[in-house]
Amino acid sequence: MNDAELQTIARGQDSALAVNKVLRNTYMLLSLTLFFSAICATTTMMMQVSQGMGLVLLIGGFISTFVVQATARSAKGLFWVFVFAGLMGGALGPVISAYIAAYANGSAIVAQALGGTALIFFTLSAYVLATGKNFSYLGGFLTTGLIVALIAIVANLFLQIPALSLAISSAVILIMSGYILYETSSIINGGQRNYILATISLYLSIFNIFIHLLNLLGALTGRE
């Protein structure tokens, strides 16, 4: 075996180690941020934070994503990830409280949405990790789909069409599921080397799947 072949093998081993490190750090940070979000959601529920304040927290959470992206390659990035997770989790509290109050089986709906979200995430992640498939080709389709979904969401704020709301939620769940495939594939194929950015992407996918599963389950159940 010549030097060139040895160097190729060494580079491959280094690349595999780097991928495993990013993957491990991403799942560790994702677990911590989700746990922190759960604490913040419980806190805002106990404080009976209003829906209006929840919207303010949500807007703050999305604004903080830009700060996270700007600081993702420094130690400050970790701090801002938890600021982001805290704001997003706090915003969930009023939403969950509203479902529990509005539906006779509101707690069951929330539990089903949580279970469904976990099932979708773990199934899709496990599929990519087991097969090693490259889903980078989905990037353009997902971006286009997300833009269309956002336009439809804004339009339905004025139209208030229940059927359109269900269609939007179904589409968003599919799009976010695609992003889980895309981001996980990007990590294991070396396209994403920053675990903070990977965590934010996966967190947002999980967050949106949960919110829109709540909407679908609530619509199928009917208010009390």
**Contact between 138 and 91 (Cβ < 8 Å):** no
Q: 33 near 85, Cβ under 8 Å?
A: yes
* Residue from 109, 116, 113, 129 nearest 224 by CA: 109
Among 196, 201, 207, 212, which residue's Cα sits nearest to residue 90? Answer: 207
Which amino acid, residue 184?
A: T
Which of 5-19, 95-109, 200-214 shows the lowest per-residue confidence on average (mean pLDDT)?
5-19
Mean of the per-residue pLDDT values for the chain?
A: 89
Q: Are 109 and 103 in contact (CB under 8 A)?
A: yes
Q: How far is CA 42 from CA 37, 39, 90, 109, 117, in A?
A: 9, 5, 8, 16, 18
Is pTM beyond 0.85 here? Answer: yes
- The pLDDT score that the predictor gives to residue 10 is 41
190: left (phi over 0), alpha (psi -120 to 50) or beta: left
Mean per-residue pLDDT for 149-173?
A: 92
- Say what the pLDDT of residue 89 is: 97
Residue 46: Cβ within 10 Å count: 10
Percent of the chain predicted with pLDDT > 90: 74
Type of residue found at 222: G
What is the band of 20 on the pLDDT scale with cuts at 50, 70, 90? confident
What pLDDT is recorded for position 222?
64
pLDDT digits (tens, 9 = 90+) for 179-205: 999 999 998 887 788 999 999 999 999
Alpha-carbon dihedral sign for residues 171, 175, 180, 185: positive
